[in-house]
Amino acid sequence: MSVDLKTSAASGEVWLIRHGETEWSRSGQHTGRTDIALTEHGRDQARALARPLAAQHFDAVLASPMSRAIETCRLAGLGDEMIVSGDLHEWDYGIYEGRTTADIRKTEPDWNVWHSLIPHGESLSQIEVRARGVVESLLAMLAQSGSSGAARRIAVFSHAHFLRVLAGCWIGNSAALGAHLYLDTATISMLGFDRENRAIRRWNARPEGCE
């Protein structure tokens, strides 16, 4: 489904929230389909998200089905509004699941998730198709008219690589652009518009008290 931004407000916001710390995010291990829990520090990070998020009204709250994203959403105070979407799961790293880039490069010196083959996982083109579908869905949701006539706001709880891919597809229909967008745990980023152009309005903002 394609949304014509000329007929929509083109003024809504999509807030991207990366989940809190896990043991694997701390060690740099690629965490795709493995359903690993937040650390206690990760839970503290998620709780620190509650204050800035409580100051906003969200018309929709979406979350990856992974427990680390769901728990972050709940601890951040938006669990009652949460809708779980399988399209928001992390990149499927295939045979590289659970390994660090440094470890992989011991046998594959030029390996990079952004341009290397990922056997039994998702290629860059495959995750781009998934992310473009999410962008279209978000645009459709933003284009809906609210009862107050105010611009709509959506929260998305997901994972580092997928949110980077999503942002790349938002601004340039390209998953590869995500390689240039670093993202910490438990941070808030915002996608929106500059007039009719899709834009990144904020990136990798760490809430007060979230280290």
- Catalytic annotation, residues: 19, 90
The binding site for substrate comprises 31-32, 68, 90-93
Both tokens of residue 72? 């972050």
Angle at 12 between CA 7 and CA 17, to 5 degrees: 145
Q: Give the helix ranges, DSSP H, for 83-181.
A: 101-104, 124-143, 160-172
Q: For residue 39, list its beta bridge partners.
A: none
Q: Do 185 and 71 touch, CB atoms closer than 8 A?
A: no
* 3-class DSSP assignment, residue 151: coil
- Compute the distance between CA of residue 160 and CA of residue 105 in angstroms, rounded to an integer: 21
